[in-house]
Chains A and B, each alone.
Chain A
Amino acid sequence: MLEGQVRIPSGCAISGIVDKSGKRMSGEAIIKSITVMHDRSNGLGGGFAAYGIYPEYKDYYALHIFYDNASTKKSCEEFLERHFDIINLSKIPTRKVREITDEPLIWRYFVTPLATKLSDSQLDEREFVAKCVFRVNTRIDGAYVFSSGKNMGVFKAVGFPEDVGRFYRLDEYEGYCFTCHGRYPTNTPGWWGGAHPFALLDYSVVHNGEISSYDANRRAIEMYGYKCTLQTDTEVITYIIDYLHRKKGLRFDEISSVIAAPFWQTIYRMEPIKRMTHEYLRNVFAAQLITGPFSIIVGFDGGFMALNDRLKLRSMVVGEKGDKVYVASEEAAIRIIEPNLDSVWSPNGGEPVIALLNGGVSNGS
């Protein structure tokens, strides 16, 4: 059974670091952090999202693509050439790691949409890119775009996350923000695309949990032009974030009030304007409410948001030290890289922790 043919619930470990000053760090720390939580993964998926890693190409979309074989690569590249100006292309550098096997062809392209194509499409640039990503992933068999943002990249594989990090030579990248995921699927997907993070444009999601609202969310989001091909929670959560943030213009604190909405009993106690806003969001975006356990880190251009489900059915700890904000499934995964934290706490269910570059850590209110 391949990913996408069957729905596979997973347990997981997640970890994330951001430096709000925008100072770049190597990928070493995040690997160290996730290694501590080895037992929360089972070797069937691991991955990283790294932000700020391509400063020299920051104005170009970085497409990371898995190919099953050379002929798939050829037809995909023909598609890319018809739609994009390709500034640079190369294999993504990897190192041989005994634990990582069956690797697909892994390529990276820095691209910008062809001006004529873009104006013909009557879409804005980001929508154009997103549409092209969907086209490749649904129409070109054996090609899979797993990263498509600017100045960021996703690196993922089947394996334990620490091995995946070494495989992709993550220690050689420098970024201001990293998120990471170790997967514990209850099936053997065996396909690299199914690992986390899941990303669209600069939005990436790492997720621990199994959401009970999955099919309600999926059927609702597919109405807005998204196609859920993997049948994973993370995929649908990513599309919801993209829909709410990019298409509906909600702020991240508002997004958290949609997907992990406060209970009515809490909303009734709010002052009138706040109450109106929450009632409005729950009414209009009822189909984007996510129930069931989850802890997620949503990476985006300029920071991340960490969020637990409304009942806090998954562990998640936040730590701060100077300009750095750490999030992980377990406190130990933070302590291993920063033993002397200024503060450490467990956010409540539904309480977002939003860390923005050159901004404070916000609880969203």
Chain B
Amino acid sequence: MAVNFLYPEYEVVRNYDRCIVCRVCERQCANEVHEHLAASNKMVCDDSKCVNCHRCVSLCPTRALKIVKTDNTYKENANWSGKTINELYRQAGNGGVLLSSMGNPESYPVYFDRILLNASQVTNPSIDPLREPMETKVFLGAKPKVIERDKDNRIINNLTPYLTLSIPVIFSAMSYGSISYNAHESLARAAKELNILYNTGEGGLHEDFYCYGEHTIVQVASGRFGVHPDYLSSGAAIEIKMGQGAKPGIGGHLPGAKIVGDVSRTRMIPEGSDAISPAPHHDIYSIEDLRQLVYSLKEATNYKKPVIVKIAAVHNVSAIASGIARSGADIIAIDGFRGGTGAAPTRIRDNVGIPIELALASVDKRLRDEGIRDNVSLIVGGSIRSSADIVKAIALGADCVYIATAALLALGCHLCRSCHSGKCNWGIATQIPKLVKRLNPEIGYKRLVNLIKAWQHEIKEMMGGMGINSIESLKGNRLMLRGIGLNEKELEILGIKHAGE
């Protein structure tokens, strides 16, 4: 029926003068966009199948391909955009919930882009990281309330379990199943090499990766997939996932098509069955229940692992964080509304939650006002895109950041936002063996290491410019930040002054 027809959003443009009909594009595209016409020895393509992942563009040896936004347009309407109209047509056609992947792409303010950093001039010197030590090591966990001494008056180490990181960056939770074996291997090896951590996500831990335990955070989510005593004890920390920035208030759904082979074994569910995580944990309907789960997990691991509680940034995030800080958790992770996902209902992803910058500023302030900031460390994510975002997040009050989308980009992701299709041409968000093998973990982990090392250099440069030679002196140092183009209320919430003040 003609009313079902949607003109493709993007068009594949082939320069036939350059095309040598090598058919690489045809072989590389899991979406079957490209086709070879034997009779005329010519490549043709079906734009409607294209997800704009740039796999063919990147691999075309003669640069014969490019993807352009279509100029086909509906009658212009400031209220009814082409995207809105198309989505409505799709729902009228199939009666379904719209699905999307990765983070909220809509044009909400990005506060990181409206914050500027300080630098030293005259009254104190900037510090050159090439000449002087510049420290980025951090500890995450609760701080003891009293100093204890032995009979010789030496300080006794009475620290509760904590995490040590060479740089305050952790690869955020992405489950085995939502992403591939090779993607997990790349993350685990990079975390080890960098002396940081990665997070298993909610799909359990593949037995091959237990050897990276010291650099692993094992997650316990509402579906409890792959959770067993060895799993809990294998990591450096345990994370209870209460929420996710991309889809606050709802659970997860990994389609049965991805529950194959090792994914099924690792998750401890039958092959082909959908893995559905409920929206809430059904043993946590309130804060006192959370406390019980925190202590159950600590009990199960002999009080040797710090426990992280991850929540989505929602309106009353600071009150929630304040409750968590008194629940026995050692670390709170907050995920902003720009955070990514392997699949989420579009309306939720694009309309629920708040920006991480505001959530972080208000949580940090609330915990300080209540005198409980030392009970917990704060990790923030969703979305941290660069070293500058990290510096700003730390100065707003974070102890550490989570990155996931950025890590996937380093592995080749081109943000086509089609993870839910399971046909990731870059071998990341797929379980199809011929696609998975396109991601070489040997190369992948090195790219991740490169990225974090590059960011570390940049962080040191920015810190040095501010005259700060250790990252703990940047933490919560909001005088180093100024807002640009922000209103009074925004500045008040961020706890920063406007540029020029």
Which A residues fall within an 8 A CB radius of B?
Answer: 7, 9-11, 186, 209-217, 219-220, 222-224, 248-250, 254, 261, 263-265, 273, 276-277, 280-284, 286-287, 289-293, 310-311, 313
Contacts of B133 in A (CB 8 A): 263-265
The yes or no answer to B124 lying at the interface (CB within 8 A) is yes
Q: How far is the CB of A268 from chain B (nearest CB, A)?
A: 11
Q: Of the 9-residue stretches B270-278, B439-447, B471-479, which lies at the interface with chain A?
A: B471-479
Q: How far is the CB of A295 from chain B (nearest CB, A)?
A: 13
**Measured between alpha carbons, how far is A292 from B479 in the docked complex, in Å?**
14
Contacts of A273 in B (CB 8 A): 154
The 5 closest A-B pairs by CB, nearest first: A213-B473, A215-B479, A212-B467, A286-B472, A216-B477
**Measured between alpha carbons, how far is A339 from B63 in the docked complex, in Å?**
80
Contacts of B228 in A (CB 8 A): none
Residues of chain B in range 119-158 having any CB-CB distance to chain A below 8 Å: 120, 123-125, 127, 132-133, 135, 137-139, 143-144, 147, 154-155, 157
Residues of chain B in range 351-396 having any CB-CB distance to chain A below 8 Å: 368, 371, 373-374
Q: How far is the CB of A1 from chain B (nearest CB, A)?
A: 12
Instruction: Indicate if the CB atoms of A213 and B478 lie closer than 8 Å.
Output: no
Q: Chain B interface: which size bin?
A: 35 or more
Q: Name the contact of A213 in the complex, choosing from B135, B138, B147, B477 (C-beta under 8 A).
A: B477
Instruction: Indicate if the CB atoms of B470 and A289 lie closer than 8 Å.
Output: yes
Q: How far is the CB of A42 from chain B (nearest CB, A)?
A: 13
**Measured between alpha carbons, how far is A358 from B124 in the docked complex, in Å?**
37
Instruction: Indicate if the CB atoms of A287 and B469 lie closer than 8 Å.
Output: no
Q: Name the contact of A223 in the complex, choosing from B139, B154, B368 (C-beta under 8 A).
A: B368
Contacts of B477 in A (CB 8 A): 212-216, 219
Q: Name the contact of A215 in the complex, choosing from B123, B132, B469, B480 (C-beta under 8 A).
A: B480
Instruction: Indicate if the CB atoms of A216 and B147 lie closer than 8 Å.
Output: no
**Measured between alpha carbons, how far is A222 from B472 in the docked complex, in Å?**
17
Q: Name the contact of A287 in the complex, choosing from B137, B468, B475 (C-beta under 8 A).
A: B475
Contacts of A213 in B (CB 8 A): 468, 473-474, 477
Contacts of A9 in B (CB 8 A): 123-124
Known: A216-B476, A223-B373, A277-B155. A292 touches B147 (CB 8 A): no
Q: How far is the CB of B326 from chain A (nearest CB, A)?
A: 15
Instruction: Indicate if the CB atoms of B123 and A220 lie closer than 8 Å.
Output: no
Closest to B127 in A: A311
A-B contact pairs, 27 of them (CB 8 A): A10-B123, A11-B123, A186-B123, A212-B124, A212-B466, A212-B477, A215-B476, A219-B368, A219-B478, A220-B373, A222-B368, A250-B147, A254-B155, A263-B135, A265-B133, A273-B154, A276-B157, A286-B138, A289-B472, A289-B473, A291-B468, A291-B473, A292-B467, A292-B468, A293-B467, A311-B132, A311-B469
Sample of 7 further A-B pairs with CB below 8 A, known A9-B124, A223-B374, A292-B467? A209-B124, A216-B476, A219-B368, A265-B133, A283-B159, A289-B473, A292-B124
Contacts of B124 in A (CB 8 A): 9, 209-212, 292-293, 313
Contacts of A280 in B (CB 8 A): 155, 157, 159
Known: A209-B124, A276-B157, A277-B155. A287 touches B476 (CB 8 A): yes
Residues of chain B in range 442-497 having any CB-CB distance to chain A below 8 Å: 466-470, 472-480
Contacts of B111 in A (CB 8 A): none
Closest to A10 in B: B123
Instruction: Indicate if the CB atoms of B147 and A283 lie closer than 8 Å.
Output: no
The yes or no answer to B162 lying at the interface (CB within 8 A) is yes
Known: A212-B468, A219-B476. A284 touches B159 (CB 8 A): yes
